[in-house]
Chain A
Amino acid sequence: MSSFDEIIAADQRVEPRDEMPEGYRKTMVRQIAQHAHSEIIGMQPEGYWITRAPSLRRKAILLAKVQDEAGHGLYLYAAAETLGVDRADLTERLITGRQKYSSIFNYPTLGYADVGVIGWLVDGAAICNQVPLCRSSFGPYARAMIRICKEESFHQRQGYELLMTMMRGTDAQREMVQDAVDRWWWPSLMMFGPPDANSPNTAQSMAWKIKRHTNDELRQKFVDMTVPQAEKLGVTLPDPELRWNPERGHYDFGEPDWDELKRVISGDGPCNAERLERRRRAHEDGAWVREAALAHARKHAREKEAAR
Chain B
Amino acid sequence: MSWPLYEVFVRGKRGLNHVHVGSLHAPDAETALHNARDLYTRRNEGVSIWVVRSADITASSPDEKDAFFDPSADKVYRHPTFYSIPDDVPHI
Contact = CB atoms under 8 A, between A and B. Distances in A.
A78 B3 contact: no
Interface string A72-106: 00110011011000111000000000000000000
Interface in B20-40: 21-25, 27-28, 31, 38-39
Interface string B8-30: 00000000000001111101100
A266 interface: no
B62 A18 contact: yes
A81 B42 contact: no
A82 B57 CA distance: 14
A294 interface: yes
Interface residues of A, number: 30
Contacts of A68: 42
Contact of B1 (A82, A294, A301): A294
Interface of A is mostly: helix
Interface of B is mostly: mixed
Contact of A291 (B1, B62, B65): B1
Given A71-B42, A75-B22, A294-B1, A2 B65 contact: yes
A64 B43 CA distance: 11
Contacts, number: 51
Nearest to B21: A147
Given A296-B27, A297-B27, A290 B22 contact: no
A236 interface: no
A300 interface: yes
Contact of A293 (B24, B31, B39): B31
A262 B31 CA distance: 42
A229 interface: no
B5 interface: yes
Given A17-B62, A296-B27, A297-B28, A74 B3 contact: no
A51 interface: no
Contacts of A78: 22-24
Contacts of B24: 74, 78
Interface string A1-40: 0100000000000010111000000000000000000000
B33 to A, nearest CB: 13
A86 B2 contact: yes
Contacts of B81: none
B70 interface: no
A67 B38 CA distance: 9
B87 interface: no
A71 to B, nearest CB: 6
Nearest to A296: B27
Given A291-B1, A293-B3, A301 B28 contact: yes
Contact of B22 (A15, A64, A144, A297): A144
Contact of A88 (B2, B31, B59): B2
Interface in B51-81: 59, 61-62, 65-66
A144 B23 CA distance: 11
**3 A-B pairs with least C-beta separation:** A297-B28, A293-B27, A297-B27
Given A71-B38, A86-B2, 13 more contacts: A2-B66, A67-B42, A71-B39, A71-B42, A74-B39, A78-B22, A144-B22, A291-B1, A293-B28, A294-B3, A297-B27, A297-B28, A301-B28
